[in-house]
A and B are shown apart, each in its own frame.
Chain A
Amino acid sequence: MSLNQRDMQFQVFEVLDAASLLNRERFKDHSSVTFEDILEMSFEFAKRQLEPHHRLSDTLEPQMIDGTARVLPEVKAALYAMRDAGFFAAAADEEYGGLQLPNLVWNACQAAFMASNPGTSSYAFLTVGAANLIRSFGTDAQKETYLRPMLEGRWFGTMCLSEPHAGSSLTDIHARATPNADGTYALSGRKMWISGGDQDISENIVHLVLAKLPDAPAGVKGISLFIVPKHRVTASGLEPNDVALAGLNHKLGARGTTNALLSFGERGDCVAELVGAPHQGLAQMFQMMNEARIGVGLGGAALGCAGYVSSLEYAREREQGRLPTNKDPSSPQVNIIQHSDVKRMLLAQKALSEGAFALCLYASRLVDDHGTHPDATVRGEAGALLDLLTPVVKAWSTHYSLEANVLAIQVLGGYGYTREYAPELYYRDNRINPIHEGTNGIQSLDLLGRKVAQNGGIGMTLLTREIDGDIKAARAAGLNDLSDALEAAVSVAHSTTRTLMGASPDVMLANSWHYLELLGHTVIAWQWLNAARVATLKLPTASSDDAAFYKGKLHAATYFTRFELPKVALWGKLLGSLDTTTLTMQENWF
């Protein structure tokens, strides 16, 4: 299995205490046992339905035949099985046939799927995200028409933002929507990089498209959101809606998911429905984007963990060389896991990928608190903390899980560079994650340019309060060294933030990526401190297998604190000096 199920249980039940969600009205029909069974089921599903065709769907990527993207039968079969098992509606409202599973548990299920086969499982997650957006902003009629078939997994969903000339800069999109007499809109334009944009799996595809109305103000405030089905619903059934597949992009990884260039309204017959109020499209889309960003971070972390598990298995079996103290060439060779440098690479992977995984699940739990906590103050605070952490969740997790994948390949040596083993596939699948749903550079600009100072800096205040509380608890458990190191990092984060906030925007944002790394390392050290505290408390009464697991957690926490966290001081010094090296570099000097 690609993920360590024990680690999943540790994070979901022991650290984040999923059982404490059971006293909330929304989750009252669940129990700890149902959470455990559903997680168990997701692991089994991933192992049986998703893993077996992961390599095949990478080798035989989707093809455009007769104007339609054709995917492998195995991809279809797995998604139909996912649909039949009820996963599409797992977290949805009962009103729409859903099970109201907490976001924490649902995201843990998703992690198992994404680690096993991100290409196939992405269709489902895109659909769920699109359905959530219609649930939040759609009319009753739109919900009736689109939501139920999407949550039943009969229709899939996409999000259509980028255009061939406008990727990160949505201000410049060209797609237009012109009002029709019946209240609908005629949509025209091209959309690029559309994951799941076309396929022959589902009965219909519901595209959520950003476009501008004729009277739209300039800039992002003039963007509206539209539902544009591939086949529109008419009295006589589904009819083509003038949405054409203009081409498929052939990607480095995640090849099971089609990636399309779509052309809307080439024949002037593409009917769209406005979602919510005019010109509010980007703000609405950001709800889906924020969910998607946590999902992307989680997908990256899951693939980082998968690479770690895969290279760990290899290191335990591959015999090579002898330890430095053994000078007898006739003695048996040792498994490479006994070599310190291999242990370093495995420890680094564990610290980075499991740290990222912990943060992503923590954010998932914040989504539950924001949506369902009975105390309005707690709901508000969870939302503010989530706002601050979302760019960190997305960017830090995807950046450093990819670094973990590089180490997984390295552990396997030459074999790691071949397609005989999984790490190269995990790396290629994961390589998209620092790019899509807002590049990691964009995330760092969002963090430093917007989120840190938002609402008087409430996010940073809450983050500090949470970390301080956990440091106190960790000290009570005897974890003074880890606590001291984290406390120092938090202090650097605060002083650096203050300095940057006083600089001009150009100087402040010149090194925004390193600021995200600084805050990200601090936050991951916090996650590790919490893991170490739980492990310390559980260790005395643990079984032998569990004791080894908890000791591994403690050791990885120590590794992160000693080998990674000191970088915070270096970044703090650089950023605190308001360094302008990157800012002042001139184009013609390159």
Chain B
Amino acid sequence: MKIMCLIRQVPDAEARVKTANGTVDLQGSSMALDGMDEYGVEQALRMSEGGAGTVAVAVGPQRFEDAIRRTLAMGLERAIHIETDLVLDVVTTSRLLKAIALEEQPDLIFVGGQHADTDSQAMGAALSEALGWNLVTWTTELTLEGQHVTAVHDVDDGKETVELELPCVVTTQQGLNEPRYPTLPNIMKSKKKELLKKSLNDYGISSTMVRVVNQEIQQRARLQHIIDGKDAAAAAEQLIVLLHTEAKVI
């Protein structure tokens, strides 16, 4: 059984991200392995014998190495880093990953269900299309018997169970598992694991089809409703409506 985990590095959920000259400036921001990718890594570890046959694949700048090391410290066997400062579009990335998959011959590829930074959910589908493999998205449960995969995935108002055959692409979702911490011994062992460095040139890719021309960070203004409290009952009713319809906390 060979399992490939596509991973990315994103700003930590609590990082204060700023933009400068139409580009997100990540200098000084704390970065982390994308949480959705972490579910895939954890699942790969659970489905393998002590991480045997598992490989992390990352496409991104040099700083991605921290996230890659993290997956090795969690227990993946080895890693491939396609080091580039070019921000690739999803379709180009899927072509690149297809080439890697053809080299690696995995039975299963885990892809994060949604990018924590850009909110894109397209990568899993694009890779499945490029490879012509089965796909299951937003997976919250996964079992494997021989070549046969049973997966539970979220739909709008519930969940459904699907069956598919290997090889396949699985995109992850919160609830799939509880990712482990790297243990201190594994952190030390991870330094001796293989981290293969490659470039886009190695796969004949030199450009991207979509160019980012401007980036902005969504600003959320406080609504600051003031409720007239002269009629307590009416105020309470109004508050309940606001909490339900605007704050969406009840």
Task: Give the interface centre of B28, B184, B185, B187 by most chain A CB atoms within 10 Å.
Answer: B184
Instruction: Give the contacting residue for B185; candidates A37, A86, A544; CB below 8 A.
Output: A86
Interface of A (DSSP majority class): helix
A31 adjacent to B191 (CB under 8 Å): yes
- Verify if B53 is at the interface (C-beta below 8 Å from A): no
Q: How far is the CA of A482 from the CA of B185 in the complex (A)?
A: 43
In the complex, B203 has a CB within 8 A of chain A: no
Nearest neighbor of B187 in chain A, beta-carbon distance? A37
Is B28 a contact of A545 with CB atoms below 8 Å?
yes
Mark contacts of A40-77 with chain B using CB atoms, 8 A cut-off: 1 yes-contact digit, 0 otherwise: 01001100000000000000000000000000000000
The minimal Cβ–Cβ distance linking A123 to chain B, given in whole angstroms, is: 18
Q: Counting CB contacts under 8 A, is A30 at the interface?
A: yes
Binary interface profile of B, 184-214, with partner A (CB < 8 Å = 1, else 0)? 1101101100000000000000000000000
**Candidate in A1, A33, A37 with the most chain B CB atoms within 10 angstroms:** A37
Q: Cβ of A5 and Cβ of B30 under 8 Å apart?
A: yes
User: In whole angstroms, what is the CA distance A543 to B73 when docked?
Assistant: 29
A87–B187 Cα distance when bound, in Å, is 12
Interface readout for B1-32 with A: 1 if CB under 8 Å, 0 if not? 00000000000001000000000000110100
B193-248 interface with A by 8 A CB criterion: none
Query: Which chain A residues (399-426) contact chain B, with CB distance < 8 Å?
Result: none
Once the chains are docked, how many angstroms separate the CA of A521 from the CA of B27?
36
Say yes or no: B185 contacts A33, CB within 8 Å. Answer: no
A residues near B184, Cβ cutoff 8 Å:
38, 41, 85-87, 90, 99, 101
Given A41-B181, A45-B181, A85-B181, A34-B187 contact (CB < 8 Å): yes
Say whether B183 contacts A85, CB under 8 Å. yes
In the complex, the chain A residue whose C-beta lies closest to that of B14 is A1
Number of A-B contacts (CB under 8 A): 47
For chain A, give the interface size range: 20 to 34
Q: How far is the CA of A544 from the CA of B69 in the complex (A)?
A: 27
Map CB proximity to B onto A16-35 as digits: 1 under 8 Å, 0 otherwise. 00000000000001110110
Distance from B42 Cβ to chain A, minimum over Cβ atoms (Å): 14
The reply to whether B188 and A30 form a contact with Cβ atoms under 8 Å apart is: yes
Other A-B contacts than A81-B181, A85-B184, A546-B28, 5 sampled, CB-CB below 8 A, are: A37-B69, A41-B73, A86-B184, A87-B184, A545-B27
A84, CB-defined interface residue at 8 Å: yes
B14 CB, min distance to chain A CBs, angstroms: 8
Q: Cβ of A544: which chain B residues have Cβ within 8 Å of it?
A: 27-28
- Rounded to whole angstroms, the CA-CA distance of A87 and B14 in the bound complex is 25
Give the shortest distance, in Å, between A323 (CB) and chain B (any CB).
23
- A47 CA to B191 CA in the complex, in Å? 25
Contact assessment for B185 and A41 in the assembled complex, using a CB-CB cutoff below 8 Å: no
Determine whether the beta carbon of A33 is less than 8 Å from that of B181: no
Please pick, from A41, A81, A84, the residue contacting B187 in the complex, using a CB distance under 8 A: A41
The 4 closest A-B pairs by CB, nearest first: A545-B28, A86-B184, A86-B183, A85-B181
